[in-house]
Amino acid sequence: MAIGAMVKVAPGHVSSALPQICACLRSALEIEELCNNAFTVWGVLVSSLHEEEVEPLLDQTLSIVIKHWDTFTQETRKLAHELVEHILGSHNELLRDIFGTMPSLASIPVLAKFEDKINEMKETMDVRSHFLAFSRRCLSENTTVVEQALTELVSYLSRHEEFVHRSVLSEQPDPAVAHLVRSLLDCTVKFNTTSESITLLTARCLGHVGCLDPNRVDSVKEKKEILVLSNFEKMEETFEFVLFFLQNVLVDAFLSASNTRAQGFLAYAMQNLLRFCSLNSAVTQRSRGVQSDEKYQRWLELPEAVRNTLTPFLTSKYTVTVGAVSSRFATEWKRRQRKVRIQRLQSHHQGAGYFDSFVSSSIRCLEPRGRGHSG
């Protein structure tokens, strides 16, 4: 409830900490004793945000309502009803852009009038458009959103198996089917170790699709790659690698983290990568140096959503401290430090393998400190 009070006191100043606040509330929602209070605060948060800030939370909000409706008390259900009414009534322009990916509220009879409004907008969509919308929903980093999307997709596929089979057997298979299959396969990999329900739902969806001929239906995964030729010896290549790593790995991991401890480690990593590349000074101080201007231009080339997530870490002060370390670990730590200084690693592959082994054995003793941001 303290978070809710903070949002009420400073409703226009929570944007920079929005990912952390949402992660904290998502964790609390999974605890039955805290679920109702957490959703109350979630409602306060969503109601206080501007339209551009609400957009990434809209699908999450509806999915949370659907998932936890049976756990909600009567008072919380009333708040949920009011929140859904607020969203659908106050963001008409936003809804016209994203209605295709909005979750169905059909499982909650009390929200039938809102479901009718969503269905009215979706009437303009054909089966192919629905498949593409499901593909986008399945690519979400949020477990609740993906689980709800797959739950709906199971029944939708059972009603439209004929379309799938007809498309696959035609001379020109519909690429929407390939996109859907690719999204389902990605879901299986992404949530394999974290959500058994998603794994089972994905299997059911793939069962409805059936066995596809890979020679006719292309569902090859798009690869995002970066080539580092100098083995990180040139700062220009290192800078490009850091931006790539932030955009395609760390930001997504940070936004999808289910607890604040994981976010703390990721926040520390992003903060120090930005500092290592001097992006913190290039963006916040805007010095007139040519190199600084080039870095600032590369910063502006990042997607806006990525920049919004990274901006607080340009001035944050997260630290990592070594906790209670056993003497055995301390000895190993010193030995490996000496090894790094003495032994020149002969290849990038060898170096990467050594680094991975070292971090894996060391990370258990690290704890993130400094949850907040400061300028």
3: tokens are: 């978070």
3-state secondary structure at position 319: strand
**Is there a single domain that holds both residue 165 and residue 209?**
yes
- What is d(CA 357, CA 161) in angstroms, rounded to the nearest whole number? 47
Band the pLDDT of 375: cuts 50, 70, 90: very low
Structure tokens at 308: 């919004």
End-to-end CA distance of the chain: 26
Q: Quick count: other Cβ atoms within 10 Å of Cβ 159?
A: 10
**Token pair in block for residue 41:** 């605060």
247 found inside a domain: yes
Question: Do residues 277 and 294 touch, judged by C-beta distance below 8 A?
Answer: no
| For residues 203-224, average pLDDT | 74
Do 48 and 119 belong to one domain? Answer: yes
**Confidence (pLDDT) at 273:** 92
Residue 117 has pLDDT above 70, yes or no: yes
Q: Is 59 helix (H, G, I), strand (E, B) or coil?
A: helix
**Closest CA relative to residue 144, chosen from 240, 247, 30:** 30
| Position with higher pLDDT, 58 vs 11 | 58
Domain of 198, in residue numbers = 125-218
Please report, for residues 72, 102, 138, the alpha-carbon distance to residue 30 in angstroms, rounded to integers and kept in the order given. 12, 22, 21
Residues 6+ apart with CB under 8 A from 319: 268, 368, 369, 370
> Are residues 116 and 2 both part of a single domain?
yes
Match 């990434």 to its residue by tokens: 56
pLDDT at 370 over 70: no
Residue 166 within a domain: yes
Instruction: Give residue 336's pLDDT.
Output: 59
Kindly state the tokens that stand for 185: 């396969």
Q: For residues 38 and 46, is the Cβ–Cβ distance under 8 A?
A: no
State which of 99, 124, 149 marks the end of a domain. Answer: 124
Asked if residue 148 is part of any domain, the answer here is yes
Residue where a domain terminates, one of 265, 283, 313? 313
Both 5 and 105 in one domain: the answer is: yes
Q: Over 60: is that where the pLDDT of 11 sits?
A: yes
Assigned domain for 131 exists = yes
Residue 223 lies in a domain: no
Question: 255 and 147, same structural domain?
Answer: no
Are 20 and 105 members of one domain?
Answer: yes
Q: Are 95 and 186 contained in the same domain? A: no
Task: Tell me the CA distances in angstroms from 53 to 168, 193, 224, one per residue in order.
Answer: 39, 30, 27
139-174 residue pLDDT tens: 888 889 999 999 999 999 999 888 888 887 777 777
For 44-86, what is each residue's pLDDT tens digit?
A: 998 888 877 788 889 999 999 999 999 999 999 999 999 999 9
Q: Which of 124, 142, 176 is the last residue of a domain?
A: 124
Q: Are 47 and 86 in contact (CB under 8 A)?
A: yes
- Indicate whether 89 belongs to any domain: yes
Which residues does 291 contact at the CB level (< 8 Å), separation at least 6? none
CA distance 368 to 20: 14
In this predicted model, what pLDDT tens digit does every residue of 245-262 receive, in sequence order? Answer: 998 888 888 877 767 788
Residue 238 vs residue 360, higher pLDDT: 238
Say which residues have a Cβ less than 8 Å from residue 263's Cβ, sequence separation at least 6: 19, 20, 23, 254, 257
pLDDT value for 226: 79
Q: Which of 4-13, 39-48, 163-172, 348-357 has the highest mean pLDDT?
A: 39-48
Domain count, the chain: 3
Is 110:74 a contact under the CB 8 Å cutoff? no
Q: Confidence class of residue 222 from pLDDT cuts 50, 70 and 90? A: low
| Tally of CB atoms within 10 A around 360 | 9
Same domain, 85 and 145: no
CA distances to 45, 48, 124, 180, 250 from 88, in Å: 16, 15, 18, 28, 32
Q: What is the pLDDT of residues 24-35, one digit of tens each?
A: 888 889 899 999
Are 200 and 284 part of one and the same domain? Answer: no
The verdict on residue 46 lying in a domain is yes
- Say if residue 208 is in the same domain as residue 267: no
Residue 105 lies in a domain: yes
Q: Is 113 found in the same domain as 55?
A: yes
Domain shared by 72 and 130, yes or no: no
pTM score, two decimals?
0.69
At 373, the pLDDT band (50, 70, 90 cuts) reads very low
